[in-house]
Amino acid sequence: MKYSSFLLILMLAAIRGIGQKADFLPKQNLWITQALDPIASQSFGRFDAVWESSTPADYALSSFAFGFQKSFVAWNFSEDIGFDIGIEGGVFTQFEWTKRTGELERYILSTDYLVGLPLVLRVKSWRIRLRLYHLSSHMGEDYIFNNRITEKEKTNNLYEQVDATVLYLYKNFSFYLGAGAVFRAIRHRKPLVFTGGVDYLLPLNPQASVGLFA
């Protein structure tokens, strides 16, 4: 009984110490978003022309995303070491634009929903992110009607994944490499996922709100 009480006092003291050092809803996230990651929780709009066998197709595609990533608690243990826990979410839509009937028409093809829980460790110029997320994909009504899909199980696709990504910052460059594993899916998916790349960002104003990206 005495031993259990002693452990309980130690745990309460540790929780109190961590709570005093915690920064709730910090202004900045530790993780740096990869702009070209197709499931990064960010907001954007794009319009794509399509070629099939070197021939312009009779349709074009547009995509819109409305996403966010927010750290809700962070700990800065020193100038070089920090840790945060956040939440992210996003909605991704895809439309088709065509003149097959002689008039410009727009069809909604799909909508994807993402919600995730990222945990990020910062050590000097390194960032290490462990993330658990759920992604649910649904065919759009226009796509279902135009392709005469009548079976309910064909209209959605969802899975859960856990992944780890390491990022290194060097001046205006970001080098990153990651791996993930799908642990639940209603459709057959390969269990392993890998990602990697290099980003270059050159801010054009002091606020870094405008810049050149490659």
Tell me the per-residue pLDDT of 133-177, one tens digit each, with 9 for 90 and over: 999 998 888 888 888 888 776 667 899 999 999 999 999 999 999
- In the prediction, which pLDDT does 20 show? 54
Task: Kindly state the percentage of the chain with pLDDT values over 70.
Answer: 89
For the residues 92-121, what does the mean pLDDT come to? 91
Sequence-separated (6 or more) residues with CB below 8 Å from residue 111: 91, 92, 93, 94, 137, 138, 140
Residue 6 is predicted with a pLDDT of 52
The count of domains in the chain is 1
Looking at residue 5, what is its pLDDT? Answer: 56
Residue 115 has pLDDT above 90, yes or no: yes
In contact, 197 and 34? CB cutoff 8 Å: yes
State pLDDT tens for residues 25-41.
888 889 988 888 888 99
What's at 144, amino acid-wise?
I
Report the distance separating Cα 133 and Cα 121, nearest Å: 18
Share of the chain above pLDDT 90, in %: 53
pLDDT, residue 61, reads 93
Say if residue 15's pLDDT is above 50: no
Look at residue 204 and tell me whether its pLDDT is greater than 60: yes
CA dist 140 → 123, 144, 145, 154 (Å): 43, 6, 9, 12
pTM check: above 0.85 = no
- Burial (CB count <10 Å: 0-12, 13-18, 19+), residue 161: buried
**pLDDT band with cut points at 50, 70 and 90 for residue 195:** very high
Tokens of 46: 């794009």
pLDDT value of residue 154? 66
| Domain ranges, residue 29 | 2-213
